[in-house]
């Protein structure tokens, strides 16, 4: 695997749209060629090299390419968008749409990301060491196909609208989450190790939510069923199982209605 | 205006009867002229290329309230599909429901120059006209819907044809409409109570009338007026297994009625998107093609024309004034559902739909559409449409051409189906080896629809005196080609003239044209009763005033009025 | 002598009443009286006659004072500002006609602006919900002629849409509703016992910010499932009862407003309300409608819909149209310093945006096009007064149910004043010159 | 002493009429430079009706006149008509939806008898220029 290192040298006046920072766009290119890739500030087209110091070179394919991005990237959008393979390490905070529509490969952000990270994600791995913004692993506006595969791990907290319209894949949040989790989800698994506020599983058709901490307000459409002993992301424990959303439509399998499941850890 | 001489192309023109012979086409002052009439034309060498009149679409949902619902409620339909502005081209977006700008350009790119908006809710006529105004290049007209209109229901309950006709004439003028459209007659009014009319004898709640009475009455009123187009029909029971009997029952209501129109059409009913109305079986498990039965009827009845409503196997957006059908659809696929019931007039619904080659029913629908065209004895009466965007986006017309012109292309598609064998069993298509010629395609996409619209004096051919709407395709019909070459060539006209203006040059948009809006001004005897009824309904039941209803002025910056005199 | 103009359309709110009568002087220069309008609508017409009206553009000086400038100078400043900006915000577009919106759209397209309208602080979240779940709706005449169950959820038409209840919803006698209000059951859901609630049969005083839960409870109740004893402050018995009232109706209409679009959950509240409506269609007929507030905000969503494909928050900066509320919406753009110039027409963000956003407008190059003096004109660098749309110039406007109506000019604007459309047309021409397109 | 209440904003007919008559006019301040409090909250606040109060949230602070709720009772909920006064204190968080949280901002209300309620233009101008106390 070859490594390309980008170090931000000029901050954009507004925001930098850099959907070319992907192993797919870099593959087969030398540093000079990578420097020539287009990026945008408002309506103006620029070259990547105007904002980044670029060293190293890419591998022949995306899978053989690793990108390390350094510096304050809190005004850089779209890092890793639509990537299919390879690896990106972001050494700092990044702005919106990190790993949006990604299909494969791995992104590690050693900082925070803003909203819409992992939008419509299909595969691969997105690891956020800091906090994530709103709409993590959610669907793009209007789409009924949200995150369908891959795994997102957040060490810190996540914002509102986590996993909206999720159909598959897994999201693990180490800290707390804001309102609306797995709204409209039809599959997938969300693990919240900290506390949740309200609107968990609203309009949820299918899928699983696990909460280790408190839930401020439970949806009226979730009904307590039983206590179960299970292991979740390496933690064994007793959980209260709720099913819902009782107001929503559900499929039937072998005559049984399939509900979404919400597990809350029971703490002594 | 510039003169043009399109030299030596292979011309396909049903109006002149030219079947691919090399010929020259001359353009002057916006019209086709004899080549001798030119003095110093710009010459376009069309050697080795195909030349046809501009395409005419008899049925497409491209402008108006439900189309815009389809745009605005589907941001995902535009994701990553945009085209940036450049030169004279404005920015474009949208796949199944493109922006008006893209609609105009994409039709032009296929060599189409006239497109009729298939359903205009009268109360929203202004909106429809605003969108058509902002659709470049194309000549357009819109069909106001009548089949669930309270005036029509009340007049036809007592078979008052003259009053119905007077009301139609008034509404065409008020809305600047082109033809009489009927969608699920009575069923959409029933839907205002959450109900439906599932066959032609199913009475409309409260109004004490059946769909059959509405259909027959509107045909008669249409012929009473002698409008350019016939009554334009979308029957009850669309999209349901076993519905072909309802379709045949609807067809039969036209029997014995002769056209009364000086505009040269032969039909008294145009039935649209017949693919959706040709299903046998009694459930989605055993649904099968009844295209043979449908076409046996069509082929033997000259006073009927139809269009296909071809499924293109895309993710698309369904939209229709058939409110109950859209509700039925959203119950099936659970996708987002928009509905608008329109006071005293009509309703509509919009639901996204994914026609997947992996789903048996979708593949059967695909086959049925093609069967309709391939079983047609007279291509002048069977037109190519996708009921855009219902069965698929109009940009797939070149792909449909490919399927119609090449058995190999059809076989390739069969092979791509997950349930190929079941699809073959439920349909006739695998046993049909007919391959349509470009001449027949020109009948189905140009001369036929122009004639059925009563616009054969303007569009659909290359005879001198017609509008200079001419498409030149980079396609040599005399050389063997892979099926995909058909799709490529006819999706990307090399040159296109609209009313003598070159709107595409070397495959690029060269002009935004001078789009016109066609409407029909039918003069009838003064009818005080109808005017009294209209004013009373506005006073008591409408939420806009009578004086704020009529569409006037700047909504049609370039109108083209077709005058009809039905005074007696 | 005076003359009376009839069938006049009111340019205040999305109700778009079209039965006003306006008395003007014989020469058409003075507006004298307004009939049939609500108090707010009448005031809007009369304000055009204010003696102290500003009739010429003005530019803020370094010392904070205003200096009168010519329209030509204002056009030049605006064109330069937009042409120089990398990503200008062009906001407002509600108190104007569709013709100006179309011209403005072309301008926005050329300068690569973000186009946003007042839905962004009003029913924008409803539009998001519609994109997620759709919307079964109808025209207001359907309500008048058929509806026997009326729900006002988080809206207060007695104050915000004063003639709505009499023209369309509670009181009118329609074709199938000959008994008027006695044939209808009215439910109001609001954390306050509002003046609208006082004319309702049922008021559910929902705990503020818990609409999503209460709506969810209705869906659970429809299906006959068990509810917790109290949801959002409402005892379950009342919820079951209200759910039954809705199910037993022949035609249910739910109107909703800012109480749900601006409270916690926002688009999700609407989403769930639409789901309630969908559910009701299993049992009876039901429709739902946003109480669009601002005159022609609906129209700008329509115009942008057919031109760009999105109803608000349209980012044209890259030469094509993109959309994602949360990123391309005015308050997010301002908060995040994503735009470098602000153009406002037909709205007053200075009064109606959170102050943190207003401060950002103050800090940027900015132009406000508005007949009034407003908090926005107060913080912008240039203020361009224009003719009142719907009073001094007509044009197309869309009602809250998307019905388009041609508005009427009833009186002449003061001598020499431009209209929105003229001003935008001139700026567009100048921008084309500057950019050489 | 200060009381804590949940602030919502919105339209009133007086807000509409005075806005259309001119936001620079005193009537607009009379209509919108107010906070409607429930009698129970007045009691807790220990203030007379029509007293100027300072309303403070995490996001800002503004002086308005406290009046009795016109559409009550709604103890614990306070109402400032939509406008620049309300917008000094509302929660601007959009939760990435574009919509600030205009309804449901926790605020503290305390008597500020001697502080004036500014007119709309003056309020916004001074706030922008950092001239507010």
Q: What is the chain D residue with the closest CA to A116? A: D96
Give chains near A: 3+ CB pairs under 8 A: B, C, D
CB contact under 8 A, B72 and C301: yes
Cross-chain residue pair B206–C176, CB shorter than 8 Å: yes
Q: Mean pLDDT over residues D104-129, rounded?
A: 97
Domain total for chain D? 1
**B-C interface (Cβ pairs under 8 Å ≥ 3):** yes
Calculate ∠ Cα D96-D100-D102, nearest 5°: 150
Q: Which two tokens stand for residue C235?
A: 């005892």
A41 belongs to a structural domain: no
Cβ–Cβ gap B79/A144 under 8 Å: no
Residue B12, C-beta contacts closer than 8 angstroms, at least 6 positions apart: B18, B19, B20, B50, B51, B52, B438, B439, B441, B442, B477
DSSP string covering A49-61: HHHEEEEE---SS
pLDDT tens digit sequence for D7-32: 999 999 999 999 999 999 999 999 99
Structure tokens, B310? 């071809």
**Alpha-carbon torsion, ordered A195, A197, A203, A208, to 10 deg:** 0
A65 Rama sector, left if φ>0, alpha if ψ -120 to 50, beta otherwise? beta
- What pLDDT does C1 receive? 85
In a domain, A90, yes or no: no
Number of structural domains in chain B? 1
Residue C134 C-alpha, separation from nearest chain A C-alpha, in angstroms: 9
| C133: contact with B, CB 8 A cutoff | yes
Please list every residue in chain B whose beta carbon sits closer than 8 Å to the beta carbon of residue A141.
Answer: 75-76
- Per the model's pLDDT, the better-predicted residue between C1 and D45 turns out to be D45
Domain assignment present for A15: no
In the block, which residue shows the tokens 């062009």? C90
B400 lies in some domain: yes
**Token pair recorded at residue B387:** 């009921």
- Kindly list the distances between the CA atom of residue B13 and the CA atoms of A137, B4, B463, C68, in Å, as whole numbers in the listed order: 55, 18, 9, 66
Rama region for B421: left / alpha / beta (φ>0; ψ in -120 to 50; rest): alpha
B193 neighbors B420 (Cβ within 8 angstroms): no
Does residue B131 have a pLDDT over 90? Answer: yes
CB-based contact (8 Å) between C301 and chain B?
yes
Instruction: Give Rg (Cα) of chain D.
Output: 14
CB contact under 8 A, D124 and C375: yes
Does residue D133 belong to any structural domain of this protein?
A: no
Interface contact C136-B338, CB threshold 8 A? yes
Which CA distances in Å does C174 have to B192, C141, C166, C180? 14, 8, 12, 7
Could you say which of B63, B97, B338 has the minimum Cβ distance to residue C135?
A: B338
Closest residue in B to A205 (Cα–Cα)? B334
CATH of the domain at D24: 2.40.40.20
Is A82 among the domain residues?
no
Of B73, B206, B542, the CB nearest to C134: B73
Q: Which of A42, A184, A199 sits opposite C212 (nearest CB)?
A: A199
Q: Per-residue b/e over C98-107, b at no fewer than 16 CB within 10 Å?
A: bbbbbbbbbb
How is residue C207 written in tokens? 């705990």
pLDDT tens, residue order, chain A (268 aa)? 999 999 999 999 999 999 999 999 999 999 999 999 999 999 999 999 999 999 999 999 999 999 999 999 999 999 999 999 999 999 999 999 999 999 999 999 999 999 999 999 999 999 999 999 999 999 999 999 999 999 999 999 999 999 999 999 999 999 999 999 999 999 999 999 999 999 999 999 999 999 999 999 999 999 999 999 999 999 999 999 999 999 999 999 999 999 999 999 998 7
Chain mean position to CA B273: 8
A69: DSSP letter: E
Question: Is B337 in CB contact (< 8 Å) with chain C?
Answer: yes
> Region B485-503: what's the mean pLDDT?
98
Q: Provide mean pLDDT across the span B246-250.
A: 98
Residue A221 forms contact with C (CB below 8 Å): yes
Domain hosting B227: range is 59-74+118-452
- DSSP string over B154-199: HHHHTT-HHHHHHHHHHHHHHHT--S-EEESTTHHHHHTTT----S
Nearest-CA distance from D93 to chain A in Å? 11
Q: What percent of chain B has pLDDT over 70?
A: 100
> How do residues A194-210 score in pLDDT, each as one tens digit?
999 999 999 999 999 99
d(CA C302, CA B126): 12
Q: Is C275 on the interface with A (CB under 8 A)?
A: yes
Which helix or strand (DSSP H or E) is residue B430 part of? Answer: none
pTM of the model: 0.98
Q: Are A159 and A135 in contact (CB under 8 A)?
A: yes
The answer to whether residue A51 is domain-embedded is no
Tokens describing residue C158: 């007695």
pLDDT tops 80 at residue B221? yes
Assess if residue B177 is contained within a domain.
yes
With 80 as the cut, is the pLDDT of residue B59 above it? yes
- Residue A11 confidence (pLDDT): 97
Does residue B471 belong to any structural domain of this protein? no
CB proximity under 8 Å: C 69-108 to B: 98-99, 102, 106
- Mean pLDDT score, B518-524: 98
Shortest CA distance from B71: residue in chain A: A142
- Chains D and B touch, using 3 or more CB pairs below 8 Å: no
- Domain residues for the domain of D36 are 3-128
- Asked if A17's CB is within 8 angstroms of C318's CB, the reply is yes
pLDDT band of residue B568 (cuts 50, 70, 90) is confident
Q: From residue B336, give the alpha-carbon distance in Å to each of A205, B233, B321, C129, C283.
A: 15, 27, 17, 10, 19
Residue D133 has pLDDT above 80, yes or no: no
Q: How far apart are CA B361 and CA C103, in angstroms?
A: 46
Q: Confirm whether A120 is domain-assigned.
A: yes
Q: Which of C128, C227, C318 sits opposite A43 (nearest CB)?
A: C318
Interatomic CA distance for residues C105 and A1, integer angstroms: 48
Mean pLDDT of B78-99: 95
B193 vs C: CB within 8 A: yes
**In B35-57, which positions are buried (b, 16+ CB within 10 angstroms) versus exposed (e)?**
eeebeebeebebeebbbbbbbbb
| Separation CA B464–CA B467 (nearest Å) | 8
From C86, C265, C339, residue closest to A44, measured CB to CB: C86
Name the domain count of chain A. Answer: 1
Residue B87 is predicted with a pLDDT of 87
Per-residue pLDDT of chain C (437 residues; tens, 9 = 90+): 899 999 999 999 999 999 999 999 999 999 999 999 999 999 999 998 988 999 999 999 999 999 999 999 999 999 999 999 999 999 999 999 999 999 999 999 999 999 999 999 999 999 999 999 999 999 999 999 999 999 999 999 999 999 999 999 999 999 999 999 999 999 999 999 999 999 999 999 999 999 999 999 999 999 999 999 999 999 999 999 999 999 999 999 999 999 999 999 999 999 999 999 999 999 999 999 999 988 999 999 999 999 999 999 999 999 999 999 999 999 999 999 999 999 999 999 999 999 999 999 999 999 999 999 999 999 999 999 999 999 999 999 999 999 999 999 999 999 999 999 999 999 999 999 999 98
Do A116 and D95 lie within an 8 Å CB cutoff?
no
> Which subunits sit against C, judged by 3+ Cβ pairs under 8 A?
A, B, D
Residue A267's pLDDT is 85
pLDDT value at B217 more than 80: yes
Q: Which of residues 43-62 of D touch C (CB under 8 A)?
A: 59-60
C240 half-sphere exposure, CB direction, 13 A CA radius: 11
- Confidence category of residue D50, pLDDT binned at 50, 70, 90: very high
Q: How far is residue C285's CA from residue C277's CA, in Å, rounded to a whole number?
A: 9
Q: Residue B163's closest CA among B172, B171, B155?
A: B155
Range of the domain at A187: 115-265
Q: How far apart, in whole angstroms, are the C-alpha atoms of residue C218 and residue C72?
A: 58
State the DSSP string of B340-379: EEETTTEEEEEEEEE--TTSHHHHHHHHHHHHHHHT-S-G
B130–C98 CB contact, under 8 Å: yes
Give the model's confidence band at B488: pLDDT under 50 very low, under 70 low, under 90 confident, else very high. very high
C346: left (phi over 0), alpha (psi -120 to 50) or beta: left
Asked if the C-beta of D99 comes within 8 angstroms of chain A's C-beta atoms, the answer is no
Nearest chain A residue to C133 by CA distance is A142
Residue C437 pLDDT: 85
**Contact flag B76-A249 (C-beta cutoff 8 Å):** no
Q: Which residue of C has its CA nearest to A139?
A: C132
């Amino acid at each position: 695997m070859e490594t390309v290192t980008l170090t931000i040298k000029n901050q954009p006046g507004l925001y930098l749209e850099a959907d070319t920072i992907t192993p797919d766009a870099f593959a087969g290119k030398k540093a000079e060629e990578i420097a020539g890739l287009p990026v945008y500030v408002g309506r103006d087209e620029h070259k990547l090299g105007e904002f980044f110091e670029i060293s190293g070179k890419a591998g022949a394919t995306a899978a053989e390419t690793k990108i390390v991005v350094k510096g304050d990237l809190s005004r850089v959008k779209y890092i890793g968008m639509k990537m299919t393979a390879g690896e990106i390490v972001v050494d700092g905070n990044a702005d919106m749409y990190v790993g949006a529509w990604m299909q494969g490969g791995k992104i590690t952000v050693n900082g925070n990301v803003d909203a819409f990270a992992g939008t419509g994600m299909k595969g691969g791995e997105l690891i956020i060491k800091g906090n994530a913004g709103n709409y993590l692993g959610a669907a793009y506006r209007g789409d009924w196909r949200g995150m369908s595969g891959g795994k997102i791990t957040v060490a810190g907290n996540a914002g509102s609208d986590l996993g909206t319209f999720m159909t598959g894949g897994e999201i693990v949040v180490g800290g707390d989450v804001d309102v609306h989790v797995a709204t409209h989800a039809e599959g997938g698994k969300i693990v919240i190790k900290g506390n949740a506020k309200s609107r968990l599983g609203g309009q949820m058709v299918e899928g699983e939510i696990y909460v280790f901490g408190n839930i401020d307000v439970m949806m009226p459409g979730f009904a307590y069923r039983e206590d179960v002993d299970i292991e979740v992301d390496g933690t064994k424990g007793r959980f209260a199982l709720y099913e819902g959303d009782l107001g929503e439509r559900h499929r039937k399998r072998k005559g049984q209605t399939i509900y979404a499941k919400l597990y809350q850890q029971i703490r002594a | 205006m510039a003169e043009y001489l399109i030299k030596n192309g292979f011309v396909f023109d049903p109006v002149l009867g030219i079947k691919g012979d090399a010929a020259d086409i001359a353009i002057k002052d916006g019209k086709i002229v004899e080549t001798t009439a030119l003095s110093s034309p710009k010459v376009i060498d069309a050697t080795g290329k195909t030349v046809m009149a501009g395409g005419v679409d008899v049925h497409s949902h491209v402008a108006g309230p439900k189309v815009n619902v389809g745009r605005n409620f589907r941001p995902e339909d535009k994701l990553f599909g945009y085209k940036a502005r450049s030169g004279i081209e404005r920015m474009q977006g949208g796949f199944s429901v493109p922006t008006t700008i893209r609609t105009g350009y994409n039709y032009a790119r296929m060599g189409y120059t006239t497109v009729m908006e298939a359903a205009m809710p009268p109360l929203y006529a202004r909106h429809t006209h605003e969108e058509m105004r902002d659709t470049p290049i194309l000549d357009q007209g819109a069909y106001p819907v009548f089949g669930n209109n309270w005036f029509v229901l009340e007049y036809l309950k007592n078979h008052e044809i003259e009053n119905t006709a007077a009301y139609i004439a008034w509404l065409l003028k008020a809305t600047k409409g082109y033809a009489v459209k009927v969608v699920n007659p009575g069923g959409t009014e029933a839907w205002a109570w959450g109900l439906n009319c599932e066959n032609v004898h199913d009475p409309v709640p409260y109004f004490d009338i059946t769909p059959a009475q509405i259909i027959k009455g509107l045909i008669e009123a249409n012929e009473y007026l002698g409008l350019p187009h016939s009554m334009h029909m979308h029957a009850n029971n669309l999209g349901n297994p076993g519905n072909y009997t309802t379709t045949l029952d609807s067809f039969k209501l036209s029997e014995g009625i002769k056209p009364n129109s000086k505009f040269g059409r032969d039909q008294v009913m145009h039935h649209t998107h017949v693919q959706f109305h040709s299903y046998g079986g009694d459930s989605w498990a055993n649904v099968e093609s009844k295209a043979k039965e449908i076409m046996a009827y069509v082929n033997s009845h000259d006073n009927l024309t139809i269009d296909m409503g071809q499924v293109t196997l895309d993710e698309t957006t369904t939209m229709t004034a058939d409110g109950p059908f859209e509700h039925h659809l959203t119950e099936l696929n659970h996708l987002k559902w928009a509905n608008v019931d329109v006071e005293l007039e009509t309703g509509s619904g919009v639901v996204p739909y994914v026609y997947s080659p992996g789903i048996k029913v979708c593949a059967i629908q695909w086959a049925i559409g093609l069967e309709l065209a391939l079983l047609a004895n007279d291509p002048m009466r069977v037109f190519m449409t996708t009921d855009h965007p219902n069965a698929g986006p109009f940009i797939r017309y070149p792909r449909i051409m490919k399927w119609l012109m090449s058995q190999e292309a059809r076989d390739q598609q069969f092979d791509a189906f997950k349930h190929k064998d079941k699809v073959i069993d439920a349909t006739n298509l695998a046993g049909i080896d007919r391959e349509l010629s470009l001449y027949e395609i020109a009948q189905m996409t140009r001369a036929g629809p122009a004639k059925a619209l009563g616009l054969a004096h303007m569009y659909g051919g290359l005879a001198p005196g017609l509008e200079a709407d001419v498409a030149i395709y980079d396609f040599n019909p005399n050389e063997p080609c892979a099926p995909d070459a058909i799709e490529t060539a006819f999706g990307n006209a090399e040159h296109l003239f609209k009313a003598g203006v070159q709107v595409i040059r070397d495959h690029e948009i060269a002009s935004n044209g001078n789009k016109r809006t066609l409407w029909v001004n039918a003069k009838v005897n003064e009818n005080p009763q109808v005017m009294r009824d209209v004013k009373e309904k506005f006073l008591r039941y409408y939420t806009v005033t009578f004086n704020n209803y009529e569409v006037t002025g700047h909504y049609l910056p370039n109108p083209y009025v077709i005058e009809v005199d039905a005074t007696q | 002598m005076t003359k009376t103009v009839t069938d006049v359309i009111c340019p205040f709110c999305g109700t778009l009443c079209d039965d006003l009568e306006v008395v003007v002087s014989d020469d058409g220069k003075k507006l004298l009286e307004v009939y049939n309008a609500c108090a707010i609508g009448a005031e809007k017409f009369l304000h055009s006659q204010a003696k102290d009206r500003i009739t010429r553009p003005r530019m803020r000086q370094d010392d904070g004072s205003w200096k009168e400038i010519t329209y030509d100078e204002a056009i030049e400043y605006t064109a330069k500002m937009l042409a120089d900006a990398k990503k200008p915000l062009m906001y407002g577009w509600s108190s104007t006609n569709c013709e100006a919106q179309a011209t403005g759209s072309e301008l926005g397209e050329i300068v690569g602006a973000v186009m946003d309208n007042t839905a962004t602080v009003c029913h924008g979240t409803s539009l998001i919900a519609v994109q997620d779940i759709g919307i079964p709706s109808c025209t207001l005449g359907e309500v008048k002629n058929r509806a026997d169950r009326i729900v006002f959820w988080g809206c207060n038409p007695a104050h915000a849409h004063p003639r709505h209840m009499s023209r369309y919803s509670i009181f009118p006698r329609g074709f199938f509703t000959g008994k008027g209000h006695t044939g209808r059951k009215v439910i109001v859901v609001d954390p306050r016992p509002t003046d609208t609630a006082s004319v309702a049969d049922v008021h559910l005083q929902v705990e503020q910010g818990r609409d999503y839960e209460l709506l969810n409870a209705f869906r659970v109740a429809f299906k006959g499932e068990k509810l917790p004893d109290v949801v959002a402050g409402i005892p379950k018995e009342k919820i079951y009862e209200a759910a039954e009232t809705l199910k037993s109706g022949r035609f249910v209409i739910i109107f909703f407003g800012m109480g749900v679009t601006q409270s916690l959950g926002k688009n999700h509240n609407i989403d769930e309300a639409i789901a309630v409506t969908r559910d009701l269609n299993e049992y009876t007929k039901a429709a739902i409608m946003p109480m669009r507030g601002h005159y022609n905000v609906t129209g700008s969503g329509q115009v942008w819909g057919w031109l760009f494909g999105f109803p608000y928050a349209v980012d044209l900066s890259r030469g094509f149209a993109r959309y994602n509320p949360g990123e391309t919406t005015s308050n997010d753009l301002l908060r995040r310093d994503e735009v470098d110039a602000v153009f406002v027409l037909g709205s007053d963000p200075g009064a109606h945006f959170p102050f943190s956003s207003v401060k950002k407008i103050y800090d940027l190059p900015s132009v406000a096009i508005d007949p009034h003096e407003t908090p926005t004109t107060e913080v912008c660098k240039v203020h361009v007064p224009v003719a009142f749309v719907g009073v001094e110039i007509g044009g197309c406007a869309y009602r809250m149910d998307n019905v388009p109506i041609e508005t009427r000019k009833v009186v002449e604007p003061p001598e020499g004043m431009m209209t929105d459309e003229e001003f935008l047309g001139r700026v567009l021409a100048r921008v084309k010159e500057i950019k050489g397109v | 002493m200060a009381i804590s209440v949940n602030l919502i904003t919105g339209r009133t007919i007086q807000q509409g009429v005075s806005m259309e008559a001119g936001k620079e006019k005193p009537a607009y301040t009379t209509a919108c430079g107010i906070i409607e409090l429930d009698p129970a909250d007045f009691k807790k606040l220990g203030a007379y009706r029509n007293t100027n109060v300072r309303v403070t949230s995490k996001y800002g602070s503004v002086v308005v006149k406290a009046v009795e709720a016109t559409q009550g009772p709604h103890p614990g909920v306070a109402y400032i008509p939509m406008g620049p006064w309300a917008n000094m204190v509302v929660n601007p968080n959009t939760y990435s939806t574009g919509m600030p949280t205009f309804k449901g901002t926790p605020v503290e209300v305390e008597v500020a008898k001697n502080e004036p309620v500014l007119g709309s233009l003056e309020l916004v101008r001074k706030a922008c220029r950092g001239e507010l106390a």
